[in-house]
Chains A and B, each alone.
Chain A
């Protein structure tokens, strides 16, 4: 158990809909990362937040957005869903402290199925 929690575990929805995935980082971790794993793209970095502020963006679609709240949990919002958005979505967290190796620890993921 990494200490990172994600809900829900599974999500089935229809095209055009909007969903929210939730992540709670390990206690004390300030950085949260979101990754997407689809069959054809592998594990890809989407976005990072540090202490409530967006820190880095990867291959995140404009239909997707994220935020980190004052209690440090994070949400990934996916809208206008398409069949190709079906994937595993992982959240990872790290201490986020400068001068450290800042290892990332992953949650169990949310499996999104768009029908």
Chain B
């Protein structure tokens, strides 16, 4: 699976948008971009995934650049409960493939 690069930490004010970047310059055409988050030793929580189009769900938006070498996860109105480690993962399109977690980004939402 392609390697991803994320900033180790970010801060965001409560109520503002949190924009979390991820570089995946070696991504191949059959790989998805997945985002998970982990709140203090709880099980990782699925957020969103995409292939090449921008995606939005009730939790977040995912913006993938046209060349697919980077992406941004957007939490539109961050709350204190969004404080977590966010993992950007590039994963094979085939079903059943493992998730390879990196270090992730520690997002701290401040009041």
Contacts and interface: CB of A to CB of B under 8 A. Distances in A.
B41 A45 contact: no
Interface in B16-56: 32, 34, 36, 38, 41-46, 49
A99 interface: yes
**In which size bucket is the chain B interface?**
20 to 34
Q: For chain B, what secondary structure do more than half of its interface residues adopt (helix, strand, loop), or is it mixed?
A: loop
A2 B45 contact: yes
A7 B2 CA distance: 33
B43 A109 contact: yes
A96 interface: yes
Interface in B70-111: 87, 93-103
B98 A108 contact: no
**In which size bucket is the chain A interface?**
20 to 34
Contact of A94 (B36, B41, B43, B95): B95
Interface string A73-115: 0000000000000001010101111111111111111010000
A43 B95 contact: no
A92 B45 CA distance: 10
A24 interface: no
Contacts of A48: 96, 98
A31 interface: yes
A96 B44 contact: no
Contact of A109 (B42, B93, B101): B42
Interface string A10-49: 0000000000000000000001010100000011110010
Contact of B46 (A43, A103, A107): A103
B95 A4 contact: no
A2 B47 CA distance: 12
A42 B95 contact: no
6 contacts: A43-B44, A55-B96, A99-B95, A102-B96, A103-B34, A106-B45
